[in-house]
Amino acid sequence: MKPQYVLPFERPIVQLEEQLATLEAQPGPTPTTLESIRNMRVEIAKMKREVFENLDAWQTVQVARHQDRPQARDYIELVCDEFIELHGDRAFGDDRAINVGFAKLDDCKVLLIGQHKGRNLQERNECLYGCAHPEGYRKALQKMELAAKFNLPIVCLIDTPGAYPGIGAEERGQAYTIAVNLREMSMLPVPIICIVIGEGGSGGALGLGIGDYVGILQFAYYSVISPEGCAGILWKSVKFADQAAKALKFTGRDLLQFGIVDEVIQEPLGAAHRDHRAMAITLKQTILRNIKSLENLPREELLERRYQKFRRIGEFEELIVVDEPAANAVTSTT
């Protein structure tokens, strides 16, 4: 799948792909042409591997935000055999930034929650680029509690730059609603699978991120703040967003090392925006594998493991350096 929008570091790949398309379009190819096509395909695969295996943190952010990257509704269409959407929070409205519904993946029935940014201008205005209001988080929690009554696993697909920061959202209890989600998700007695599929920004992502399994796609990121926000605070300019991205250490590799995520899910060669279907297959396999590993755990063990998982985040060891001459001096005077 050729991306409609090309990132700067993808241009050499796209140029080769265009040359390949020209060769393949020639009628009656000669043996020499066929050999050139084979060599070019090998070269393109090699270039994709070299480029995408060596992305820095800021380039990873660009891929996570790619306009052609599959979003929650794309995965719903590709992964789910059935999906029945549920609407509204019974208090204020239906937040389109968060899609919730009962889904069927092969023989497995789940409640699926996905944050959606929107594909076109109309969708983006409805979804506010994936920035949910309090009613979105209330809707998600109400449906999660319903799933728990029916003993259904919960799957959360996270993709948001952050919760909506507007006055109306704050007046309706944005921070409080997210905090309630954190508390209640920690106590739901069913398996919860959380996967960051694009951007995992701040509390907006964490409001759906308390689970027994937390995964992240290879070119997604999960952070307390966006690189631009961090650069604005530290350097007073978004021009330093690339430096902020590096300092935040929010890529999958870093998060796995810190114990914040359980797995980095590999994307197809050239990233998910080049092959939606292959990424959807991998995502579905990951979801089903983890549900199977969690579904037979006793309720008490499931909740205790989830609690300990998040208690361990942020642990560090403190190294006390002792000045040897000073220590000897103290020892000699005692």
One DSSP character per residue, 17-62 reads HHHHHHHHTSSS--HHHHHHHHHHHHHHHHHHHHHHTT--HHHHHH
Q: What is the pLDDT of residues 37-50, one digit of tens each?
A: 888 889 989 999 99
Angle between helices 227-234 and 57-64 (to 10 degrees): 130
Kindly indicate the confidence band of residue 34, based on its pLDDT and cuts at 50, 70 and 90. Answer: confident
Give the residue among 192, 181, 260, 178 at the shortest CA–CA distance from 220.
260
pTM of the predicted model, to two decimals? 0.88
Phi-psi region of 270 (alpha: psi -120 to 50; beta: other; left: phi over 0): left
Give the residue among 284, 272, 155, 290 at the shortest CA–CA distance from 217.
272
Distance CA 331, CA 328 (A): 5
Instruction: Mention every residue, 6+ apart, whose C-beta is less than 8 A from residue 185.
Output: 141, 144, 192, 208, 210, 211
% of the chain beyond a pLDDT of 90: 68
CATH for the 61-312 domain, from 3.40.140.10, 3.90.226.10, 3.30.465.10, 3.40.50.10800: 3.90.226.10
Helix (H, G, I), strand (E, B) or coil at 300: helix
Residue 180 has pLDDT above 90, yes or no: yes
Residue with tokens 């996270």: 158
Angle between helices 174-185 and 134-149 (to 10 degrees): 20
Phi-psi region of 151 (alpha: psi -120 to 50; beta: other; left: phi over 0): left
Q: Which amino acid is at 198?
A: G
Distance CA 185, CA 293 (A): 19
pLDDT, the chain, mean: 90
Helix (H, G, I), strand (E, B) or coil at 66: coil
Kindly indicate the confidence band of residue 319, based on its pLDDT and cuts at 50, 70 and 90. Answer: low
Q: What is the pLDDT of residues 68-121, one digit of tens each?
A: 999 999 999 999 999 999 998 898 989 899 999 999 999 999 999 999 998 888
Q: Which amino acid is at 29?
A: P
pLDDT score for 25:
83
The tokens of 19 are what? 């040359």
Do 161 and 201 touch, CB atoms closer than 8 A? yes
Helix (H, G, I), strand (E, B) or coil at 6: coil
Distance CA 115, CA 96 (A): 9
Per-domain boundaries in the chain: 61-312
Q: Which amino acid is at 76?
A: I
Do 137 and 181 touch, CB atoms closer than 8 A? yes
Residue with tokens 């114990």: 259
Q: What is the pLDDT of residues 204-262, one digit of tens each?
A: 999 999 999 999 999 999 999 999 999 999 999 999 999 999 999 999 999 999 999 99
The residue ranges of DSSP E strands in 152-256, in sequence order, are 154-160, 192-201, 213-217, 221-223
pLDDT score for 332:
42
Give the residue among 70, 306, 78, 28 at the shortest CA–CA distance from 198.
70
Q: What is the pLDDT of residues 106-163, one digit of tens each?
A: 999 999 999 999 888 888 888 888 899 999 999 999 999 999 999 999 999 999 999 9
Residue 317 has pLDDT above 80, yes or no: no
